[in-house]
C-alpha cells in the first residue's frame, strides 16, 4: 500500500469441472500473475477449486477430499508470495457443507467465510447441497485444518495496516440486506465477492449497476469475480464477469464471454473512502443499528510487494468537469440551481431590480446569464436587471465592447459609470502616486466599483448579485470588501474551470441571438484578468491572472482533493503528476511546475481564509463549497506549516 491505495485484482481462471487438481494449477498461475503486477489482494470466483456447477457431485467424498488436497497445495504455494488470495471451495463443518471463501496468505488459511443467501431458483437449487452461514452461531465456529485452527464465520473482518476487508458470495449481494452492509459499517473498507452468476439477457447491465451502487451506498471498494469458461453449459452459461468499483465508480472491468483467463487489476483508494466516511454522519449512525453484533477481526500480515508502486487507474485532470452528454446535463442543472436560488432571494426581498457589475469577463457574464434565467422563470421584465459597466485604468476595448454588446443583446438595463475620476480623487485624498501601480492602486479601483454597485442597487430598490467564483475564493484572489462582497453570490461554489464551460453551454443551448452567441464565445476566449493595471502598448490585457497565481486548472485540481477528501500534499502532487502527464492530457505540466503552484495554493489557501469567513449567501451547486456556514469552517489563524513542510520534503526528494 502507498498513498492509501490497495492494489486489488479480480481473477477469472479457466475451470475444469470437478477437477480440483487442474483448477489448482490455474489458480496458482493467477496468483503468480497477480504477484508480478504488485497485486496485494486477489479475488477468484465462487467454488473455483471444484467448479460451481458440480451439482450432486458436491456430495461425493472424493471431490471433497480432492478439495482439501488443493487447499493444502495452495497454502504451500503461497508461502513465498506476498499476495493475499481469496478462493472458493466447499468446506465441511459439523456434518454440514458450506459454500465458502478461503483467505490464504503466506502459507496459512486465515479464515473461511460461508455464503449466507443460497439461491433456490428454477435454474439452480444451491440449497440442495449447501447450508447457509445463518445456521452458525453468531460467534461462528473453528475448523482444525492441516494443523491450523481456522475460524468459519460470516462476520470475519480481515485487517492489515491501513486496510480492512470483508467477503460475501454471489447471491449475498442480491439480498434485500446484503452481508456487505453489515461488514462495511463494521469497518470493512473493501468488499470482495466470489461469484458464479449465470448469464441472462440484460442481467449483466443490472449487475454492473448493482456493484457500482453497492460500493456507493457503503462508501467502499467492491471487487467482484465471477465464474467463466469451463463451467457446465447443461442449462446455463457463465460469462466470467469481473468488476472493480470504488464509491459508485467502476474502475476496471473484464471482458464477458472470453475463453481465456482474465486478471482485472486496479487500485482502490482506501484513504479516499475513509475520508468520505469521516464526514458522513449517516455512516456513523448506521454503525449503531447495523454493525454485526459478533465480528471476529483476523489480523493479516502487512500488505507488501516487491513491485514498485505505479497507479494504473486514470486520474481526471479536470475533476469538476464531466465529459460528453454528462457535461450538458451538468451545465443545465447548475444553471437551474443558481437561478432558482437567485429567484427565491428576489421573491423574499421583494426586490424590484438586481444590479450586476459587467466587466466583459467570464464570471460577470455567468452571473448575468443566471440573472436573465431567473427573471425569465419569474416572468419578470429583463429590464429589471441593471448591468453596470465601470471602465477603469485597465479596461480594454475588447472587454468593454463585449460587455456592452452582451447587455444590449440580452435586453437588460445598461448603465455606464467611469471610475477614473473618482479613483484619482481617492488617490489625492490618500496621498498616493497614481504612477505607482501597487496594491493600493488596484484595490482602490475594486472598492470603488463595489461602492457604486451597492449604492446603485439601493437607489433602484434592489440588491447586488456577486460574480466571484469558487477558485478565486480558494486563492483569496479578490479585494476584501471589493469584488469579494455582494448581497447574493451566485457563482460562489462554481470553480473557474467550470465557469468557462457553463458560458459556452449557454451560448450553444439557451441563447437564440447569433450576435449574443458570438459575444459569449469571444468572452470565453478572453484571457482571465481583473484589468486593474493599464493595457499594454497594443491595447491588450497586460494583467493576466494565471501568470500571477498559476493555472486555474491546476488550482481547481488541488482544491478538489483538498476540500473533497482532505488529501495530503504528497498525494495531491502524485495525482497531479499522473493527471497532467504528457500522455494523459494536452495540458501538460512538468512536475516542478506542479510543485511550484501547489506551494502557492497551500500558502494562499491558508492565508486568505479571512476573506471566506464573511462571505455573502450563495447557492451550493456541487460537492465542494467554501461557505463558512456550511461546507468549510476553518480558523482564520490556522497555520500552514505542516503542509508547507510536506512540500519541502517533496522538493528535496525531487532534487535528488
β-strands 84-93, 96-105: how paired? Answer: antiparallel
652: annotated active-site residue: no
CA distance 153 to 337: 49
46: annotated active-site residue: yes
Write out the E strands in 308-440: 353-357, 385-389, 413-416
Helix ranges (H only) for 85-202 are: 171-174, 179-185
Helix ranges (H only) for 386-532 are: 397-410, 420-430, 439-459, 470-475, 496-509, 514-525
β-strands 242-246, 221-226: how paired? Answer: antiparallel
170: annotated active-site residue: yes
Q: CB within 8 A of 140, min separation 6: which ones?
A: 151, 152, 153, 154, 155, 156, 294, 296
Phi, psi (rounded to 5 degrees) for 256: -80, 150
Phi, psi (rounded to 5 degrees) for 431: 75, 35
Distance, C-alpha 607 to centroid of its chain: 26
CA distance 370 to 342: 8
* DSSP label of 125: B
Percentages helix, strand, coil for the chain (3-state, rounded to 5) are: 45, 20, 40
Residue of 40, 46, 171, 253 marked active site: 46
Residue of 35, 43, 82, 115 marked active site: 115
Residue of 43, 54, 164, 170 marked active site: 170
b/e map 388-415, b = 16+ CB within 10 Å: bbbbbbbbbebbbebbbbbbebbebbbe
Nearest Cα neighbor of 166 from 133, 143, 142 is 133
Question: 22 - beta bridge partners?
Answer: none
Q: Which residues are catalytic?
A: 46, 115, 170
Amino acid at each position: 500500500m502507498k498513498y492509501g491505495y490497495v492494489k486489488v485484482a479480480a481473477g477469472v481462471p479457466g475451470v475444469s469441472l470437478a477437477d480440483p487438481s487442474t483448477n489448482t494449477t490455474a489458480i496458482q498461475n493467477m496468483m503468480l500473475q497477480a504477484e508480478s503486477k504488485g497485486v496485494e489482494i486477489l479475488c477468484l470466483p465462487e467454488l473455483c477449486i471444484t467448479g460451481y456447477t458440480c451439482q450432486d457431485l458436491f456430495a461425493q467424498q472424493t471431490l471433497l477430499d480432492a478439495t482439501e488436497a488443493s487447499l493444502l497445495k495452495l497454502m504451500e504455494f503461497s508461502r513465498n508470495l506476498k499476495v493475499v488470495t481469496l478462493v472458493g471451495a466447499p468446506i465441511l463443518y459439523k456434518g454440514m457443507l458450506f459454500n465458502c471463501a478461503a483467505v490464504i496468505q503466506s502459507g496459512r488459511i486465515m479464515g473461511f467465510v460461508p455464503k449466507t443467501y443460497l439461491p433456490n431458483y428454477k435454474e439452480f437449487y444451491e440449497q440442495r447441497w449447501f447450508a447457509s452461514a445463518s445456521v452458525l452461531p453468531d460467534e461462528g465456529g473453528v475448523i482444525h485444518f492441516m494443523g491450523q485452527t481456522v475460524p468459519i464465520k460470516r462476520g470475519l473482518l480481515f485487517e492489515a495496516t491501513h486496510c480492512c476487508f470483508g467477503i460475501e458470495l454471489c447471491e449475498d449481494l442480491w439480498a434485500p440486506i446484503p452481508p456487505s452492509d453489515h461488514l462495511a459499517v463494521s469497518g470493512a473498507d473493501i468488499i470482495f465477492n466470489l461469484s458464479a452468476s449465470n448469464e441472462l439477457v440484460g442481467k449483466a447491465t443490472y449487475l454492473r449497476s448493482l456493484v457500482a451502487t453497492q460500493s456507493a451506498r457503503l462508501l467502499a471498494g467492491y471487487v467482484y469475480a465471477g465464474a467463466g469458461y469451463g463451467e457446465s453449459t447443461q442449462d446455463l452459461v457463465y460469462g466470467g464477469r469481473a468488476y472493480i468499483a470504488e464509491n459508485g465508480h467502476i474502475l476496471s472491468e473484464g471482458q464477458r464471454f472470453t475463453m481465456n483467463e482474465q486478471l482485472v487489476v486496479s487500485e482502490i483508494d482506501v484513504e479516499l473512502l475513509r475520508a468520505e466516511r469521516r464526514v458522513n454522519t449517516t455512516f456513523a449512525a448506521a454503525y449503531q443499528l447495523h454493525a454485526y453484533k459478533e465480528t471476529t477481526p483476523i489480523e493479516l500480515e502487512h500488505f507488501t510487494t516487491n513491485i514498485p508502486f505505479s497507479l494504473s487507474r486514470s486520474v481526471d485532470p479536470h475533476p469538476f468537469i464531466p465529459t460528453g452528454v454528462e457535461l450538458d446535463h451538468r451545465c443545465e442543472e447548475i444553471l437551474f440551481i443558481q437561478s432558482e436560488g437567485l429567484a427565491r432571494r428576489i421573491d423574499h426581498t421583494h426586490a424590484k431590480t438586481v444590479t450586476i457589475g459587467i466587466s466583459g469577463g467570464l464570471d460577470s457574464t455567468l452571473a448575468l446569464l443566471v440573472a436573465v434565467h431567473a427573471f425569465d422563470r419569474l416572468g419578470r421584465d429583463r429590464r429589471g436587471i441593471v448591468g453596470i459597466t465601470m471602465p477603469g485604468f485597465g479596461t480594454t476595448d475588447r472587454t468593454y465592447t463585449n460587455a456592452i454588446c452582451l447587455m444590449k443583446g440580452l435586453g437588460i438595463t445598461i448603465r455606464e459609470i467611469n471610475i477614473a475620476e473618482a479613483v484619482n480623487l481617492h488617490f489625492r485624498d490618500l496621498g498616493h502616486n497614481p504612477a505607482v501601480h501597487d496594491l493600493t492602486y488596484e484595490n482602490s479601483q475594486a472598492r470603488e466599483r463595489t461602492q457604486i454597485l451597492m449604492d446603485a442597487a439601493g437607489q433602484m430598490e434592489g440588491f447586488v448579485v456577486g460574480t466571484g467564483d469558487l477558485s478565486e475564493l480558494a486563492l483569496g484572489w479578490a479585494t476584501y470588501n471589493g469584488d469579494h462582497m455582494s448581497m447574493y453570490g451566485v457563482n460562489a461554489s462554481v470553480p473557474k474551470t467550470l465557469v468557462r464551460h457553463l458560458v459556452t453551454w449557454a451560448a450553444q443551448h439557451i441563447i437564440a441571438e447569433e450576435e449574443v452567441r458570438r459575444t459569449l464565445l469571444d468572452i470565453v476566449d478572453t484571457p482571465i484578468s481583473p484589468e486593474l493595471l493599464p493595457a499594454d502598448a497594443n491595447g491588450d490585457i497586460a494583467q493576466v491572472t494565471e501568470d500571477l497565481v498559476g493555472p486555474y486548472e491546476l488550482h481547481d485540481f488541488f482544491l478538489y482533493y483538498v476540500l473533497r477528501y482532505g488529501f495530503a500534499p504528497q498525494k495531491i502532487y502524485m495525482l497531479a503528476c499522473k493527471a497532467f502527464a504528457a500522455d494523459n492530457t494536452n495540458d501538460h505540466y512538468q512536475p516542478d511546475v506542479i510543485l511550484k503552484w501547489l506551494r502557492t495554493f497551500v500558502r494562499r489557501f491558508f492565508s486568505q481564509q479571512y476573506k471566506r469567513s464573511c462571505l455573502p449567501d450563495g447557492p451550493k451547486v456541487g460537492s465542494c463549497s467554501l461557505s463558512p456556514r456550511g461546507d468549510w469552517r476553518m480558523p482564520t489563524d490556522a497555520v500552514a506549516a505542516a503542509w508547507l513542510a510536506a512540500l519541502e520534503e517533496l522538493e528535496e526528494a525531487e532534487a535528488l
